[in-house]
RNA sequence: GCUCCCAUCGUCUAGUGGUCCAGGACGUGGCCCUCUCAAGGCCGAAACACGGGUUCGAGUCCCGUUGGGAGCACCA
């Protein structure tokens, strides 16, 4: 086949729409697959609705998706003169004619026709009037061969077309002298030597008339491929109201570009049973012949699944890099990359479907005072859990090195020493104390990656004010009160400790805040806290 | 209303006249694993819209019905 040239031609009247993104993807992939070129053309001839801001949004959306183009972007409005010139040519040759019917007249005749149950096409009133340029306000219409059939072989829909008489002599130029969409598209596609026009099926109705324009211009039309519409859960065309349609929104919600691309490419296209397509595979395998004809619903659940799949595949460093903006949002302050956070992200990605989701789960590691799930707190941070935790803290002092195996050993020891209690009795309170939630990664893994700027061990123990409040007063004879040290501890004001933590966190730590993601070193963090706590819970909170 | 398009599990789809009592994936139910939540593994429920043809044989071809969608501008 001759040179394959596709184009993506969005109009800058909003953000990058899901449907547009898929059309862009298809055009891009088809060109890549066949070693051709993809051109970006901004259809900005509707001055009233086109904005520069939308154009920027379009470009940034495409850039984020990683859809690049070989030529452009060119603005359709730059071709105004060329469009005007073509219309004049058609006029001279008699292939087009001036029409002085006013909107009002047209509207009246149309509604009359419609009232009779017939479909309206321009009735040809000015067709033979031979109006000249000085006939007053007028539009220009294309003179169709009303006996002809305007057909094409669609790459997706097969033989398509319409009788010319069902279309009628449509306008190609407005009374203000500006060309209409159909004319501009044909001229531009032809001038740009576009070989394959890939666009939404909502353009099916335009194509017949465009074929007529090609014929009037004595031009060979390109191949057309109309791709089925993406519909929302309602079964109707995606709407801003009901459906998530902005690519930027997906990005801000924490979806990965690769996941979105994979999701989009499979809506309406398939390659056997394959579900996961890398960018390269899309380029290697995508073809128009295998595009489905029925419109398809976009299933957000499948996107979530795909997104997690790609999340899990991301190398640790890159994953954290992607996560950082979301963490920063959660923390309310800039979050710097650390090896601990990278490890945590790794742990979290098999339980998160989006980056935003993941950031929420990582909040305990970046927030000064982690929020506690009140249900979990009520259920697990009971006074009876305190002595157990105290025992664990004592035991943790001897953990060295601070790794999963040693932590497990410590937990096991405590469990046995506390009367062989179930693991859940120990792990759940710890989990809630550390993460604020009853759901988190493994209990030996979780403490390995707590907040940056503090040491692992100190961050591990941060009972909230709510927990303290839930405790009975120290004088009570309940079991925790029988442990004087614990009682003393919980009676003390926590804010002091938090201030201390904050000071430590803001200190220029030697290993933790370095930008690279080198493996955790045993001496990371401030020296003062890098060794095991000296005095149990009390010292963890208040000791110096 | 008119024109055109479409029709396989809830969703995306495989299927191009026999190899389909219809396959995969997401979702969903159960079980296993297990310190929680996941992830993972195993098992299950779940569809050819309906009616006529054509044919030895139809999810696959034809017609109709029904249902859904899109388009019908001096918008793009």
The residues spanned by each domain of chain A are: 372-541
Residues 6+ apart with CB under 8 A from A293: A156, A157, A228
Please name the nucleotide lying closest to A275, CA to C1': B25
Please name the nucleotide lying closest to A181, CA to C1': B76
In this prediction, residue A448 carries a pLDDT of 55
Please name the nucleotide lying closest to A267, CA to C1': B12
Give me the residue label for tokens 């520069």: A52
Continuous segment of H or E residues that includes residue A505: helix A494-506
Report pLDDT digits (tens) over A20-53: 999 999 999 999 999 999 999 999 887 788 889 9
Tell which residue, A332, A435, A440, A425, has the closest CA to residue A385: A425
Tell which residue, A248, A233, A191, has the closest CA to residue A214: A191
Nearest protein residue by Cα to C1' of nucleotide B2? A119
The C-alpha atoms of residue A446 and residue A431 are separated, in whole angstroms, by: 8
In this prediction, residue A521 carries a pLDDT of 32
Share of chain A above pLDDT 70, in %: 81
Give me the residue label for tokens 């065309």: A237
Please name the nucleotide lying closest to A44, CA to C1': B76
> Which architecture, in CATH terms, is A372-541?
Orthogonal Bundle (1.10)
CA of A162 to C1' of B51 (A): 30
Report pLDDT digits (tens) over A472-527: 433 333 333 333 333 333 322 232 223 223 222 332 333 333 333 333 333 332 22
- Distance between alpha carbon A21 and the CA centroid of its chain, in Å? 11
The dihedrals phi and psi of A518, each to the nearest 5 degrees, come to: -60, 155
Within a 10 A sphere around the Cβ of A212, how many other Cβ atoms? 26
What ipTM was reported for this prediction? Answer: 0.95
Nearest protein residue by Cα to C1' of nucleotide B13? A270
Nearest protein residue by Cα to C1' of nucleotide B38? A351
CA of A351 to C1' of B37 (A): 7
Continuous segment of H or E residues that includes residue A8: strand A5-8
Q: Is A36 in contact with A192 (CB distance < 8 Å)?
A: no
CA of A338 to C1' of B69 (A): 51
Tell which residue, A540, A537, A368, A329, has the closest CA to residue A451: A368
Question: Rounded to the nearest 5 degrees, what angle is found at the Cα of A510, between the Cα atoms of A506 and A512?
Answer: 70
Tell which residue, A292, A304, A233, A226, has the closest CA to residue A263: A304
CA of A131 to C1' of B35 (A): 87
- Distance between alpha carbon A237 and the CA centroid of its chain, in Å? 19
**Quick one: A466 exposed, middle or buried, by C-beta within 10 A (0-12, 13-18, 19+)?**
middle
Is the peptide bond prior to A73 cis by the omega test (within 30 degrees of 0)?
Answer: yes
In this prediction, residue A360 carries a pLDDT of 93
Q: Is A240 a catalytic residue?
A: yes
Nearest protein residue by Cα to C1' of nucleotide B15? A272
Q: Is A228 in contact with A199 (CB distance < 8 Å)?
A: no
Please name the nucleotide lying closest to A173, CA to C1': B74
The C-alpha atoms of residue A85 and residue A94 are separated, in whole angstroms, by: 14
Please name the nucleotide lying closest to A273, CA to C1': B24
Q: Which nucleotides of B are covered by protein (CB under 7 A)?
A: 1-8, 10-15, 23-27, 34-39, 68-76
Nearest protein residue by Cα to C1' of nucleotide B74? A174
Q: Is A294 in contact with A40 (CB distance < 8 Å)?
A: no
> Within chain A, which residues score under 70 in pLDDT?
1-2, 447-544
Please name the nucleotide lying closest to A353, CA to C1': B38
**Quick one: A119 exposed, middle or buried, by C-beta within 10 A (0-12, 13-18, 19+)?**
exposed
CA of A171 to C1' of B73 (A): 9
Annotated active-site residue in A236, A240, A378, A379: A240
The C-alpha atoms of residue A319 and residue A313 are separated, in whole angstroms, by: 9
> What's the CA dihedral at A386, A388, A393, A395 to 10 degrees?
160
CA of A24 to C1' of B50 (A): 38
Sheet (strand A171-173) strand order: A96-99, A139-142, A171-173
Is the peptide bond prior to A401 cis by the omega test (within 30 degrees of 0)?
Answer: yes
- The DSSP annotation for A238-258 comes to --TTTS--BHHHHHHTT--HH
CA of A366 to C1' of B10 (A): 39
Within a 10 A sphere around the Cβ of A508, how many other Cβ atoms? 8
Q: What share of chain A is helix, strand, coil (3-state, %, to 5)?
A: 50, 10, 40
CA of A248 to C1' of B68 (A): 30
């Amino acid at each position: 086949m001759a040179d394959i040239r596709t184009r993506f031609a969005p109009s800058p009247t909003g953000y990058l729409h899901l449907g547009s993104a898929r059309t862009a993807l298809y055009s891009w992939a088809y060109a890549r697959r066949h070693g051709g070129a993809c051109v970006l053309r901004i259809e900005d001839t509707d001055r009233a609705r086109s904005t520069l801001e939308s154009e920027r949004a379009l470009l940034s959306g495409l850039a984020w998706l990683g859809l690049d183009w070989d030529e452009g972007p060119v603005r359709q409005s730059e071709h105004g003169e060329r469009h005007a010139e073509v219309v004049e040519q058609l006029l001279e040759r008699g292939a087009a004619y001036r029409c002085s019917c006013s909107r009002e007249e047209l509207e009246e005749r149309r509604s009359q026709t419609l009232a009779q149950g017939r479909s309206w096409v321009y009735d040809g009133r000015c067709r033979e009037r031979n109006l000249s340029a000085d006939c007053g306000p007028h539009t220009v219409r294309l003179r169709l061969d009303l006996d002809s059939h305007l057909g094409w072989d669609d790459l997706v829909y097969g033989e398509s077309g319409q009788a010319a008489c069902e279309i009628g002599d449509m306008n190609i130029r407005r009374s203000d002298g500006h060309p209409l969409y159909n004319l501009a598209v044909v001229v531009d596609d032809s001038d740009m030597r576009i070989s394959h026009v890939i666009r939404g099926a909502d353009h099916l109705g335009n194509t017949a008339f465009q074929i007529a324009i090609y014929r009037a211009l004595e031009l060979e039309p390109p191949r057309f491929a109309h791709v089925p519409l993406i519909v929302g859960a309602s079964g109707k065309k995606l709407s801003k109201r009901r459906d998530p349609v902005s690519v930027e929104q997906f990005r801000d919600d924490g979806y990965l570009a690769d996941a979105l691309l994979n999701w989009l490419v499979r809506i309406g296209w398939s390659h056997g049973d394959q579900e996961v397509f890398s960018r390269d595979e899309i380029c290697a395998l995508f073809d128009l012949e295998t595009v489905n004809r029925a419109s398809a619903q976009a299933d957000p659940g499948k996107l979530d699944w795909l997104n997690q799949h790609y999340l899990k595949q991301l190398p640790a460093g890159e994953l954290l890099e992607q996560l950082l903006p979301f963490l920063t949002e959660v923390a309310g302050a800039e979050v710097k990359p650390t090896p601990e956070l990278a490890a945590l992200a790794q742990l979290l990605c098999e339980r998160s479907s989006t980056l935003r989701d993941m950031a929420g789960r990582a909040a305990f590691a970046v927030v000064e005072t982690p929020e506690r799930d009140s249900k979990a707190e009520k259920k697990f941070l009971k006074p009876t859990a305190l002595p157990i935790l105290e025992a664990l803290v004592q035991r943790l002092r001897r953990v060295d090195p601070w790794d999963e195996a040693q932590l497990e050993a410590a937990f096991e020891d405590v469990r046995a020493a506390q009367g062989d209690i179930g693991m859940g009795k120990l792990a759940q309170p710890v989990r809630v104390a550390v993460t604020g939630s009853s759901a988190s990664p493994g209990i030996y893994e979780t403490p390995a990656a707590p907040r940056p700027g503090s040491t692992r061990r100190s961050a591990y123990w941060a009972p909230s004010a709510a927990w303290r409040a839930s405790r009975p007063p120290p004088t009570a004879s309940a079991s925790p009160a029988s442990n004087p040290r614990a009682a003393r501890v919980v009676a003390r004001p926590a804010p002091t400790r938090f201030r201390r933590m904050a000071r430590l966190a803001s200190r220029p730590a030697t290993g933790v805040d370095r930008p690279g993601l080198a493996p955790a070193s045993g001496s990371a963090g401030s020296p003062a806290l890098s060794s095991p706590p000296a005095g149990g819970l009390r010292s963890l909170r208040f000791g110096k």
